[in-house]
């Protein structure tokens, strides 16, 4: 199979428009919900919806084949970050069993102009990323968990997103069919 | 840092130390980016779709939904224009209505939406109404409006951005600006709420693609005309512009 050149030259938009729009969403959520945990959940849900649809776009554009281990998946995730957000996170801290790794970001376009007030230290500002990863992995039959280990917004040196592979999802056969 | 504080509740920090620590991580210490960053459009489109869905869940009517979108847009617009003026050291604030609209249509649109808006028109029968026309707004690219929400136009978000820009870029009447300034000096009482009234209202309509209808309040139009007269009489607008530049809106609470 001849591998087509990956089509990275998709249309782009200004990243600041993106950053501030995301900021507007988060601040709206903060206004609408009293509990910070609910905001985190809502962001995760939004991310999930995005991930579910984004993985399709990714597969269509990159001709990516099947991954045979998590390291391959990690490379693809890294590439997807490059493709969609223009950043290349480092793949670090692999667990011994090879089922867990971290994405480490120097910069995060989502948090470009953001400063967390002291009383909102529980807010997972970029939680939408966790949701997006969970959603997109689920669509390729992988059940993963994602969470933030470090966050630059909270004074850490880098932002670290941990991904753990839980299990492979089997294709569920719709009820009533053999 | 929080862990540190919570694990040792007895440890008391004096205020100076705290402010020192904060300074280290303050966002103001970072230099402002050049603004050339770009991200994938699909990414933006999907996020915008989430935004619309969220607002839809909170709103009961199409109008309510549009208001919510417009409000969010205004927040974005205010920040985008601040960013623009902060970055472009040489650009001056426009004080003339038409110039400001042209600036939005061309320079602003180009830097944040990638190309200029298609047209800027002035209403024939209403002095205070202008139209910015865009055949295919960025945000509407992947949106198809269901039949039961016929007149919904999600570009009202962009309309909100325009509104945010106009209302935060010194399009106050002169008297209002003076009033605000006085208050901020005296710092005695809160700003009269009328001084914060919007001066422009922007709505989005399906017409030749999408048309943003910009309607200014009468006093803005009157002021603009006065400025023309002054110029004819030989006064330069320099003094006024100087004042706007010296006290940009960001400084006025």
Under the banding of pLDDT at 50, 70 and 90, the label for residue B12 is low
The residue that leads in pLDDT, A31 or B96, is A31
CA distance B221 to B200: 10
> How confident is the model over A113-124, as pLDDT tens digits?
888 888 888 999
Cβ under 8 Å to A: B residues 75-94: 75-76, 79-80, 83
Tell if the CB–CB gap between A50 and B42 is shorter than 8 Å.
Answer: no
Task: Please provide the DSSP assignment of B6-33 as one string.
Answer: HH-TTPPPPHHHHHHHHHHH-GGGSPPP
Going along chain B from its start, the domains and CATH numbers come out as 40-232 (3.30.1380.20)
Q: Return all residues near B219 (Cβ < 8 A) that are at least 6 apart.
A: B173, B199
What integer best gives the mean pLDDT of chain A?
Answer: 89
Cβ under 8 Å to A: B residues 39-68: 39-44, 46-48, 50-51, 53-54, 58
Instruction: Name the residue facing A15 among B38, B75, B76 (closest C-beta).
Output: B38
pLDDT reported for residue B70: 92
Instruction: Name the residue facing B112 among A11, A17, A86 (closest C-beta).
Output: A17
Region B48-66: mean pLDDT is: 92
> B195 in contact with A at a CB cutoff of 8 Å?
no
> B113 in contact with A at a CB cutoff of 8 Å?
yes
Q: Which helix (H) or strand (E) holds B63?
A: helix B62-87
- For an interface test with B, which of A15, A36, A44, A132 has the most B Cβ atoms less than 10 Å from its Cβ? A15
Cβ neighbours, 10 Å, residue B129: 16
pLDDT at B21 over 70: no
Region B74-86: mean pLDDT is: 89
DSSP secondary structure letter of residue B122: E
> How confident is the model over A70-104, as pLDDT tens digits?
999 999 999 999 999 999 999 999 999 989 999 99
Residues in chain B closer than 8 A to A55 (CB atoms): none
pLDDT at B233 over 60: yes
Region A32-55: mean pLDDT is: 94
Ramachandran angles phi, psi of A121, nearest 5°: -65, -15
CA distance A53 to A135: 8
Tell if the CB–CB gap between B27 and A115 is shorter than 8 Å.
Answer: yes
Q: What ipTM goes with this model?
A: 0.88
Q: Which residues pair with residue B205 across a beta bridge? A: B211
Region A61-72: mean pLDDT is: 88
Q: Do the beta carbons of residue B133 and residue B119 sit within 8 Å?
A: yes
- For an interface test with B, which of A6, A15, A17, A56 has the most B Cβ atoms less than 10 Å from its Cβ? A17
Name which of A157, A81, A25, A107 is nearest B33 in CA terms.
A107
> B16 in contact with A at a CB cutoff of 8 Å?
no
Instruction: Name the residue facing B25 among A24, A113, A155 (closest C-beta).
Output: A155
Residues in chain A closer than 8 A to B67 (CB atoms): none
Tell if the CB–CB gap between B41 and A11 is shorter than 8 Å.
Answer: yes
Q: Do the beta carbons of residue B73 and residue B79 sit within 8 Å?
A: no
pLDDT at B253 over 50: no
CA end-to-end distance (rounded Å), chain A: 33
The residue that leads in pLDDT, B38 or B181, is B38
- For an interface test with A, which of B18, B42, B87, B143 has the most A Cβ atoms less than 10 Å from its Cβ? B42
Going along chain A from its start, the domains and CATH numbers come out as 13-115+122-166 (3.30.1380.20)
CA distance B220 to B236: 19
Residues in chain B closer than 8 A to A15 (CB atoms): 37-39
Q: What residues of A are in the B interface, CB distance below 8 Å?
A: 10-18, 20-25, 27-29, 32, 42, 46, 49-50, 53-54, 57, 83-86, 109, 112-115, 121, 128, 154-155
Residue B60, CA distances (Å) to B66, B155, B219 in order: 11, 19, 34
pTM, entire model:
0.80
CA dihedral A44, A47, A53, A55 (to 10 degrees): -100
């Amino acid at each position: 199979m001849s591998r087509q050149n990956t089509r990275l030259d998709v249309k782009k938009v200004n990243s600041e428009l993106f950053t501030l729009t995301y900021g507007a969403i988060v601040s709206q959520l903060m206004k609408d919900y009293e509990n910070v945990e609910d905001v985190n959940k809502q962001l995760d849900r939004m991310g999930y919806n995005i991930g579910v649809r984004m993985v399709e776009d990714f597969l269509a554009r990159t001709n990516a084949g099947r991954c045979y281990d998590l390291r391959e998946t990690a490379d693809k995730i890294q590439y997807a970050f490059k493709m969609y957000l223009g950043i290349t996170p480092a793949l670090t801290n692999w667990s011994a069993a090879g089922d867990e790794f971290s994405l480490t970001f120097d910069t995060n376009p989502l948090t470009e102009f953001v400063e967390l007030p002291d009383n909102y230290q529980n807010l997972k500002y970029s939680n939408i990323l966790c949701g997006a990863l969970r959603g997109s992995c689920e669509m390729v039959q992988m059940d993963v968990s994602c969470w933030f280990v470090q966050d630059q917004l909270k004074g850490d040196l880098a932002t670290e997103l941990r991904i753990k592979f839980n299990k492979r999802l089997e294709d569920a056969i719709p009820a009533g069919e053999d | 840092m929080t862990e540190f504080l919570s694990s040792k509740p007895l440890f008391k920090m004096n205020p100076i130390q705290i402010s020192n620590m904060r300074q280290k991580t303050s966002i103001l210490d970072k230099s402002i980016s050049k603004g050339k960053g770009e991200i994938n459009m699909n990414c933006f489109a999907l996020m915008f779709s989430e935004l619309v869905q969220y607002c839809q869940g909170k709103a009961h009517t199409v109008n309510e939904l549009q208001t919510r979108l417009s409000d969010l847009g205004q927040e974005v617009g205010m920040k985008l224009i601040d960013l623009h003026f902060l970055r472009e050291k040489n650009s001056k604030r426009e004080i003339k209505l038409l110039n400001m609209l042209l600036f939005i249509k061309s320079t602003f649109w180009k830097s944040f939406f990638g190309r200029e808006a298609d047209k800027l028109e002035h209403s024939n029968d209403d002095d205070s109404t202008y139209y910015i026309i865009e055949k295919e707004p960025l945000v509407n690219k992947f949106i198809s409006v269901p039949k039961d929400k016929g007149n919904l136009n999600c570009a009202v978000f962009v309309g909100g951005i325009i509104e945010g820009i106009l209302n935060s870029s010194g399009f106050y009447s002169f008297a209002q600006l003076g009033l605000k300034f006085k208050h901020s000096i005296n710092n005695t009482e809160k700003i009269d709420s009328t001084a914060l009234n919007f001066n422009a209202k922007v709505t989005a309509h399906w017409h030749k693609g999408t048309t943003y209808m910009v309607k200014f309040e009468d006093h803005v139009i009157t002021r603009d005309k006065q400025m023309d007269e002054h110029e004819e009489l030989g006064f330069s607008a320099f003094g006024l512009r100087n004042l706007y530049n010296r006290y940009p809106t960001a400084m006025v609470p």
